[in-house]
Amino acid sequence: MKFNLDDLILWSDDSLLVVDKPAGLPTLPDGYDPEAPDLKGVLLPDFGSLWIVHRLDRHTSGVMVLARSPQAHRALNTQFQEHQVSKVYHALVAGEPVWTENDIDLPLRPNGDRRHRTVVDLQRGKPSLTRLRVLERFGQFTLIEAIPQTGRTHQVRAHLRALGLPIVCDALYGAGGGIYLSQVKPRPRIVAEPEIPLIKRLALHARSLAFLHPITLEALRFEAPYPRDIIAILQALRA
């Protein structure tokens, strides 16, 4: 797997690095496959020491910020801990909600079942709030904007699953599997060869990230464009 730094870097200065993480690339080395590439390892040769401030799941694409100094790391950590950072996700889900906007206030407990998933737990879960808004409806699928107000592990995935709206291709919280053109075309077509899925990974994209610069305190906002697989599935659904 090769990566073009020009495609990854959204912002760089002496204090921080903002990147558009591709799906399939873990934030840190994989304990099961330490030789596989990871985001920090890919960036290290060009940018030197980096500090991880937050993470995206391996199969989630989109915007991330990394610190380039201990001072910046401390300041950014404080912003994340005090919920001063605005994170916006776009998710393609299976199902069609009856609402247009919805605030999901359900307590979550990480590592709550035998599959190590985050689960809704009214007694032992930590307070968790996600603001949801429908962006586009496609019948059996819906594009949703999710803005977590708290920072629980797999919060967006767990809250959407609790609503009966699992994210497309989510093997942990949904049915998994890929989405094919023949599934979204309005009429059947003859397939001469095995189909290639339009998307085969978790259809979750970290669309934007807003925070204060850790040194100058300038208000910053970064947006990551949709990757090819999300563009492909949305174009097919719109057609």
- The residues annotated with a catalytic role in the active site are 57
Largest CA distance in the chain: 59
C-alpha–C-alpha distance, residues 202 and 167, integer Å? 7
Distances (CA, A) of 222 to 74, 88, 133, 134, 212: 20, 10, 20, 21, 11
Long-range contacts of 72-79 (CB under 8 A, 24+ apart): 72/15, 72/16, 72/214, 72/215, 74/214, 75/214, 75/215, 76/16, 76/211, 76/214, 77/53, 79/211, 79/212, 79/214
